[in-house]
Structure 1
Amino acid sequence: MFLDAPAFSHLQATLDALQIQPNEKDRRAALHRVFADLMDDATLTPLFNYHYRISAPPGVNGVRLTPRGWFEFSEAWLPPPSQ
């Protein structure tokens, strides 16, 4: 879903009005309501930044996450079996 021009103008005016509210608690609550409405309407989809930890079975080497949090498959390796 997207915002048409009138809806975008209304949202911009709402955000401008909220940003100048002197009471921080009221301002945060009002902004939270606006963002919750945008998420409920599927206009806004938040991206989350989680801090993951990874573990690997013994013997797997080169296990790491990229700066964007993806497992770097090209760097993981297993040593040759010992004979």
Structure 2
Amino acid sequence: ERDLERVRAMGLGTAPVCMAKTHLSLSHDPALLGRPRGFRLPVRGLVPAAGAGFVVALCGDIQRMPGLGREPAFTRIDLDDEGRITGLA
């Protein structure tokens, strides 16, 4: 409920909602395959994506992907003149 109050205070109370849940089911439970009926969808938190103009509803035991740092690691990886990979350490 605190998350909902925060989202409303940010002016996102009527924003579109992106549901972060398992891809295996319409529910939050990956064991309920396909289109189960009669389930409740637990929302354990709301995360505002204010810049994008939507709210993410975290449903069930879902892991969110971390964002990239200021400089992604791939920018340091290269091949030297002898074909050896550098920049991994």
- Select the structure with the greater relative contact order (CA < 8 A; seq sep ≥ 6): 2
Pair member with larger Rg:
1
Query: Quick check: which one's strand share is greater?
Result: 2
TM range (shorter): under 0.3
TM, length-normalised to structure 2: 0.24
